C-alpha cells in the first residue's frame, strides 16, 4: 500500500508538471501569435499594400455604416425629433424678422464656444502629445482680460470689439478695486469651453481600450501595451513612475465616478491612463465622460 501511495504521488506530480508545461506552452504560443498578428497589421499600410488596405477600409466602412443604420433605426423617434429641431432652427435662421438679432447673437456665441472647444480638443487628443493651447491661447487671453480689468477698473468691455480688442467702457467704475471673482466671471465661458474640449479629447483612449477589450484584439498603441504590461507586473512594480500609474489605475477602478473625478480635477499627466483603464474595465461611457467633464471643465478650470 505504501508503494501504491508512492506511485500515485509520483503520477500526480508528473501530471501537474505536464499541465504546467502545457500552460506555459499555450501562453508562449499565444504571445507568438499576437506578435505575428501585430507585425501583419503594421505591414498593412497604403504605400506597401494599397489594394489590401483599400479592401479592409471598404469592408470596415460598410460594417460601420450597417451598425450606424441599425442604431439609427432603433432610435428613429429621437432622430425624427432632432431633424425636426434642425428644420425649425434653419427656418428661423433664414426667415427675416425681429428675431434675427437674437439669432446673430447666438450664432456668434456658438462659434466662439466651438473655437475654444476645438482648442481644448487639440490640447488633449494626442495621448499626451497634443498642442499646448492653454499656454498659447487661453492663458494669454486670461492675462489680457486681467490686465485690462485692472487698468479700466471694470470688466464691462463693450461687444464688439471684445474679445478681439479690449476697450475700456466710457463710464468708468468708481466702486473700488476690481475683484478676482469678477475677472473669473468674465473668462468663465472661454475657460469652461476649453475644459470641455479637453474632456472630449480624452475619449479616444477610452474607446480604443474598450473596443480592444470587447473584441479581444490587441491594438498597436504604445500606451495600451504599457498598460497591459503594468497589469501583468503590478505586484513587482518598484519605481515611482510605475507605482504612480498603478495608483491611478487602482483609484479609477475601485472608486469609480469619484475616482475619475478626482483624477480629472487636478493637473494630471497620467490621465490618459485613466481613460485606458476605464475602457479596459468597461466603465460605462457616461460615468467616465460625466466625471471627466465635471472635473476638467468646472473644478480644474476654476483652480487654474
- pLDDT tens figures, 130-174: 678 888 888 899 988 888 888 888 888 877 778 778 888 776 655
**Do 151 and 88 have their domain in common?**
no
**Chosen domain end from 62, 95, 128:** 95
**Do 77 and 152 have their domain in common?**
no
Instruction: Taking the CA atoms of 209, 214, 215 and 218 in sequence, report the sign of the dihedral they define.
Output: positive
**Chosen domain end from 25, 60, 95:** 95
Q: What are phi and psi of 226, to 5 degrees?
A: -65, -35
Region 89-96: mean pLDDT is 90
What is the distance between the alpha carbons of residues 95 and 84, in angstroms, rounded to a whole number? 16
HSE at residue 71, side-chain half, CA atoms within 13 A, is 6
Cα 205–210–216 angle (5° rounding)?
125
**Do 67 and 211 have their domain in common?**
no
Region 253-261: mean pLDDT is 79
**Do 63 and 124 have their domain in common?**
no
Region 81-85: mean pLDDT is 94
**Chosen domain end from 95, 118, 137:** 95
Q: Note if the pTM is more than 0.95.
A: no
In percent, the amount of the chain with pLDDT more than 90 equals 18
**Do 90 and 100 have their domain in common?**
no
* Structural domain contains residue 81: yes
Q: Which residues contact 206 (CB under 8 A, 6 or more apart)?
A: 275, 276, 278, 279, 285, 288, 289
**Do 147 and 267 have their domain in common?**
yes
Rounded to an integer, what is the distance from CA 116 to the centroid of its chain? 16
Region 170-187: mean pLDDT is 76
pLDDT of residue 222: 57
CB atoms within 10 A of CB 278: 28
pLDDT of residue 221: 55
* Structural domain contains residue 23: no
Sorting pLDDT into bands at 50, 70 and 90, what band is 63?
A: very high
In percent, the amount of the chain with pLDDT more than 70 equals 75
**Do 206 and 107 have their domain in common?**
yes
pLDDT of residue 264: 84
**Do 65 and 116 have their domain in common?**
no
Sorting pLDDT into bands at 50, 70 and 90, what band is 50?
A: confident
Residue among 224, 272, 282 nearest 248 (CA): 272
Q: Which of 33-42, 75-84, 121-130, 144-153 has the lowest mean pLDDT?
A: 121-130
Give the DSSP letter string of 142-198. Answer: HHHHHHHHHHHT-----TTTTTTS----SS---SSSPPHHHHHHHHHHHHHHHHHHH
pLDDT of residue 173: 56
**Do 152 and 252 have their domain in common?**
yes
What is the distance between the alpha carbons of residues 119 and 136, in angstroms, rounded to a whole number? 10
Calculate the alpha carbon distances from 155 to 15, 181, 183, 192 in Å.
81, 11, 7, 18
* Structural domain contains residue 35: no
Is there a contact between 257 and 291 (Cβ–Cβ < 8 Å)? yes
**Do 206 and 190 have their domain in common?**
yes
Provide the domain limits for residue 61.
45-95
**Do 87 and 208 have their domain in common?**
no
* Structural domain contains residue 171: yes
**Whether residue 160 has a cis bond before it, omega within 30° of 0:** yes
* Structural domain contains residue 79: yes
First to last CA, the chain: 78
* Structural domain contains residue 248: yes
* Structural domain contains residue 254: yes
pLDDT of residue 128: 53
**Do 76 and 217 have their domain in common?**
no
Q: Determine the 3-state secondary structure of 276 from DSSP.
A: helix
pLDDT of residue 1: 46
For residue 229, what is the DSSP state? H
What total number of domains does the chain contain?
2
* Structural domain contains residue 22: no
pLDDT of residue 5: 47
Amino acid at each position: 500500500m505504501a508503494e501504491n501511495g508512492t506511485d500515485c504521488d509520483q503520477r500526480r506530480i508528473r501530471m501537474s508538471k505536464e499541465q504546467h508545461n502545457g500552460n506555459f506552452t499555450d501562453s508562449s504560443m499565444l504571445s507568438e501569435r499576437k506578435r505575428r498578428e501585430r507585425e501583419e497589421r503594421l505591414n498593412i499600410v497604403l504605400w506597401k499594400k494599397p489594394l489590401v488596405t483599400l479592401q479592409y477600409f471598404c469592408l470596415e466602412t460598410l460594417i460601420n455604416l450597417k451598425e450606424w443604420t441599425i442604431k439609427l433605426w432603433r432610435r428613429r423617434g429621437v432622430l425624427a425629433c432632432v431633424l425636426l429641431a434642425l428644420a425649425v432652427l434653419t427656418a428661423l435662421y433664414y426667415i427675416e424678422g425681429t428675431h434675427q438679432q437674437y439669432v446673430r447673437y447666438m450664432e456668434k456665441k456658438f462659434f466662439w464656444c466651438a473655437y475654444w472647444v476645438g482648442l481644448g480638443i487639440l490640447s488633449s487628443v494626442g495621448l499626451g502629445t497634443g498642442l499646448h493651447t492653454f499656454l498659447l491661447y487661453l492663458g494669454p487671453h486670461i492675462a489680457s482680460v486681467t490686465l485690462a480689468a485692472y487698468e479700466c477698473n471694470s470688466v464691462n468691455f463693450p461687444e464688439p470689439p471684445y474679445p478681439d480688442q479690449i476697450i475700456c467702457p466710457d463710464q468708468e467704475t468708481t466702486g473700488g478695486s476690481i475683484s478676482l471673482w469678477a475677472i473669473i466671471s468674465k473668462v468663465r465661458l472661454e475657460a469652461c469651453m476649453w475644459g470641455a474640449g479637453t474632456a472630449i479629447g480624452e475619449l479616444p483612449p477610452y474607446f480604443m481600450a474598450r473596443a480592444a477589450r470587447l473584441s479581444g484584439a490587441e491594438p498597436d498603441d504604445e500606451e495600451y501595451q504599457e498598460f497591459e504590461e503594468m497589469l501583468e507586473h503590478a505586484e513587482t512594480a518598484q519605481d515611482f513612475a510605475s507605482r504612480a500609474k498603478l495608483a491611478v489605475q487602482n483609484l479609477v477602478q475601485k472608486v469609480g465616478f469619484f475616482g475619475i473625478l478626482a483624477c480629472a480635477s487636478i493637473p494630471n499627466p497620467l490621465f490618459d491612463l485613466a481613460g485606458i483603464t476605464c475602457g479596459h474595465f468597461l466603465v460605462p461611457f457616461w460615468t467616465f465622460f460625466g466625471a471627466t467633464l465635471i472635473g476638467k471643465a468646472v473644478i480644474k478650470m476654476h483652480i487654474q
